[in-house]
Structure 1
Amino acid sequence: MLITDDFLPVPVPETLTATYLVPTSGQSGPLPAEVVAGLGGRISGPVHDLARQMLSSPLMSVDTRPISEFPHLPPDLLSAFGATDAQLARLAAATDLVVVQASYRPGWPPAHEWAARTVAAALAERLDADVVDVFALQFLDPATALRSLPDGEGRVRLIDWVLVPYSSDDSGLWFTTKGLRRFGLLELQAQGVPTHLTRAWGAVMTGVARRLLRAWTDGLTDNEVPAFVPLPVITSVTGHDIAVAYGNPQQHDSTRPAALRLELDPATDPDADSFLTLLPPAGHPGPAGRYFAAVCAALFGAAQSDVRYARPDDAMAKAITTARDGLPGIRERFLAGKLPEGVQLLVKYALPTDEGPEYVWAGVTSWAAPERILGASASDAAADPAVRVGRPVVVDVVDVVDWAVLDGSGVVEGGWTQAVLDAGDRSQR
């Protein structure tokens, strides 16, 4: 394609490498080919075949090394990306690391990532151990790692492969992605995002990442790896892009596309990362944050919430404690499929606002990691334009204050905080 001012020439690396670790303590490791073969029908046939082919080729290596020979894994960064105290303790006690590495050319499918994660998860499951994704500095339990692999139609949830961390400064929030480099693409960044758009802008970044990743891999279909791939300077994102990235392709959103401008921000330090920066279209008046707020409003709307705010009285505190105490048990029943047929599990969680926390409900769709729940919002939030009925949400378990099991007639279990609120309403009549 001819490069013009409408496109950015983004350089393409010659090869990509995925590295996964399995911390162990002196166990004799099983044969990688044996444990991968044992996965059987638990992963899709194409991924199963890919992992076995990579294992038998020089493109993949599986070695066990003393942990002292491997660069130190910083606990603070691991914690920042979701590591639990138990996972960090197992890592600190480990004497060895099983190192799974695979290399492949940029393009789709990313064979190095699919195959290396498959092998590492299979080994960790057999050893009753964890998986550490070195790229993301993130712990994965084996079951979660296996569920993140492509289904029979080659589909993945991008949120299982690309994170969106952020930090704050005087100008607002600085968002980046962490995961696009797995596929050879530069990471995205946006600066000056208003603080009240934390969740909404994280969803926007994820949707843009999905849109650009498609354009990137479409440019890598030739047999030879090109020197660069031209990406459009003006990119767009829709609600459907966001829904697909969160694993809800059936949610066809009717929102109009929102436009954002890409600018290449090359690093001056050879050890630092280069970025693709998201900006308002050229000529947009005012600060970038104002445009970012308009993008979120266009994509998520501005519906008002009828959710009530919980009162911090003794009855409510007791209700929250009762609900929290029951979280491990209801999660276990949800994962084991032991809830009655035809019911839905919902959780109630806190969204921070300037006036105090706002509490909203979400239907649980996945609870693989104990500390994180994936779901679909069951109510609109007044404080957060990204939280709208039916849209995907990611809930930190520490923010959960209640849960409920519902059937067609209403709550059949749980809902303690709602009972307190309803009792308060009755007492005021």
Structure 2
Amino acid sequence: MLITDDFLPVPVPESLSATYLVPMTGLPKVSAKTAVAALTGRLAEPVHGLARQMLDSPLMSVDTRPISEFPELPPDLLTAFGATEEQLARLAAATHLVVVQAEYRPGWPPAHEWAARAVAAAVAESHDGDVVDVFGLQFLDPATALRSLPDEQGRIRLVDWVLVPYSSDTEGLWFTTKGLRRFGLLELQTQGVPDHLTRAWGAVMTGAARRLLRDWTDGLTGEEVPAFVQLPVLATVTGHDIAVAYGNPEQHGATAPVLLRLELDPATDPEADSFLSLRPPAGHPGPDGRYYAAACATLFSGIQPDVRYARSGDAMSQAVATARAALGDARARFVAGQLPAESQLVVKYGLPGDDGPEYVWAGVTSWEAPERIVGVSASDANTDESVRIGAPVVVEASDVVDWAVLDGTGVIQGGWTQAVLDSGEPPTP
């Protein structure tokens, strides 16, 4: 194996395993094979056939055991990853667990995960039960589990398989992925992320996971499983990577790529996990957090990191009028917590300049008084050196000329003036 400064050798495990649980009261009345057969026509045939084949092979086992034989599943962690009170109540009332386990070699497709989840979902559906993904410590209702499986073209949404939890530390937010080990790859982490990038950096991590997972599986296409796969030290992430990871490839914008440096962070404790850390490229000036803010601004389609000046004309006037007319409704939904899940409200406002107003974007963090918006800048301003990406700002609502709601794929609501700037065409009110 050739080792260079451009690539990072990442060890490959010899085999991978998946475990899913189906809690139930009493013994199952329908066999796993019968339950899987009932999915005929509802599950894409590549996965349906794979599940039937693995059920008949030593690569998969389906056992029913008393729940008392297992350590208690931690309800606090299950709740943190989305478990409802009803699901936890059914788990508490269960007397038995159907345990679905599968093993397979690293590579694509991840047959162990696809087949085990399909079988567990089939069993749970036949008994009106739940699926517990042991790796992710997640409850999945059968319909959700089945929707996460590949379609006829083998496509999946990576967000159905890889979570991005985060926590606070003294330097900011610590993001990790939880799910890449399903495919044999080390989990990713980023430390020192500014607090206001909670949603945005989660999307960037998901896009980076998609790009690196593709590089990883490309290195596992041979007949023999290699000891290492060489991943590029400089990983390139685009808006397309994020959109595909969220299952919306048609929504990606023509964003510039962002470079992230990959570092191996081996665990010193044998019981702890090693990580692949995402950092700014070597030689980047300034703190890491500022680079992360600039990367998010670049990758959010329609919210560009460069300064844009408004053009005169009917289309722009109409765009500003449309945005201002809907601003009160945007605030009401923001204050009431009624914006779409995992989204971010941003506003565009003017700064005075010698050549006229300069228009920049800011992410909204609070909006208690209708006339004043508190947020963080999403742009570097030319006319005001204090307005820098990630810097706190206070915006007068009367200065706002546009607003938008962003998720991991870009603008999902608003952005009327930006549409005029990007395309030159009149926006639709």
Question: Which residue of the partner structure matches residue 130 of structure 1?
Answer: 130
Distance 1:191 1:93 in 2: 40
Percent of aligned pairs with the same amino acid = 71
Post-superposition offset of 1:28: 2.8
Question: Which residue of the partner structure matches residue 116 of structure 1?
Answer: 116
Distance 1:349 1:189 in 2: 21
127 and 7 in structure 1: CA distance in 2 versus 1, 3 angstrom threshold: same
Stretches of 4+ aligned residues off by more than 4 angstroms = 303-307, 309-312, 346-352, 384-387
Question: Which residue of the partner structure matches residue 179 of structure 1?
Answer: 179
Residues 72-221 of structure 1: pairs in structure 2 closer than 5 A? 72-221=72-221
Instruction: Give the TM-score, by structure 1 length.
Output: 0.75
Find the residue that maps to 2:208 and give its secondary structure.
helix
Q: Is the 8 A contact 1:11 1:227 kept in 2?
A: yes
Post-superposition offset of 1:308: 2.2
Consecutive unaligned residues of structure 2, counting only runs of 5 or more, are 309-322, 346-363, 374-401, 414-427
1:381 aligns with 2:404: yes
Residues 286-301 of structure 1: pairs in structure 2 closer than 5 A? 286-300=286-300
Instruction: Give the TM-score, by structure 2 length.
Output: 0.75
Q: CA RMSD, aligned part only?
A: 2.8
Q: Deviations over 1:43-79 (max 9, x none)?
A: 1111000000000000000001111111221000000
Distance 1:353 1:292 in 2: 18
Distance 1:311 1:7 in 2: 46
Structure 1 counterpart of 2:200, one-letter code = A
Residues 304-323 of structure 1: pairs in structure 2 closer than 5 A? 308-309=327-328
Structure 2 counterpart of 1:71, one-letter code = P
Post-superposition offset of 1:285: 1.3
Find the residue that maps to 2:282 and give its secondary structure.
coil
Structure 2 counterpart of 1:34, one-letter code = T
Find the residue that maps to 2:292 and give its secondary structure.
helix
Q: Is the 8 A contact 1:381 1:388 kept in 2?
A: no
Q: Is the 8 A contact 2:125 2:142 kept in 1?
A: yes
Q: Is the 8 A contact 1:380 1:387 kept in 2?
A: no
Residues 56-67 of structure 1: pairs in structure 2 closer than 5 A? 56-67=56-67
Q: Deviations over 1:299-340 (max 9, x none)?
A: 11536975524599xxx89xx79x99xxxxxxxxxxxxxxxx
Question: Of the two, which has the highest radius of gyration?
Answer: 2
151 and 65 in structure 1: CA distance in 2 versus 1, 3 angstrom threshold: same
Distance 1:106 1:208 in 2: 20
Q: Is the 8 A contact 2:201 2:296 kept in 1?
A: yes
Find the residue that maps to 1:212 and give its secondary structure.
helix
Find the residue that maps to 1:192 and give its secondary structure.
strand
Structure 1 counterpart of 2:232, one-letter code = P
Find the residue that maps to 1:175 and give its secondary structure.
strand
Distance 1:245 1:168 in 2: 25
Post-superposition offset of 1:387: 7.4
Q: Deviations over 1:258-296 (max 9, x none)?
A: 000000000000110000000000011111101000101
Find the residue that maps to 1:215 and give its secondary structure.
helix
Find the residue that maps to 1:389 and give its secondary structure.
strand
Q: Is the 8 A contact 1:176 1:188 kept in 2?
A: yes
Consecutive unaligned residues of structure 1, counting only runs of 5 or more, are 325-345, 359-378, 392-408, 411-429
Question: Which residue of the partner structure matches residue 338 of structure 1?
Answer: none
Distance 2:408 2:138 in 1: 25
Distance 1:88 1:62 in 2: 23
Structure 1 counterpart of 2:55, one-letter code = L
Find the residue that maps to 1:35 and give its secondary structure.
helix
Question: Which residue of the partner structure matches residue 365 of structure 2?
Answer: 353
Post-superposition offset of 1:213: 0.2
Distance 2:49 2:125 in 1: 19
Distance 1:129 1:54 in 2: 22
Provide the aligned length of Structure 1 versus Structure 2: 345
Post-superposition offset of 1:223: 1.1
1:302 aligns with 2:303: yes
Q: Is the 8 A contact 2:253 2:410 kept in 1?
A: no
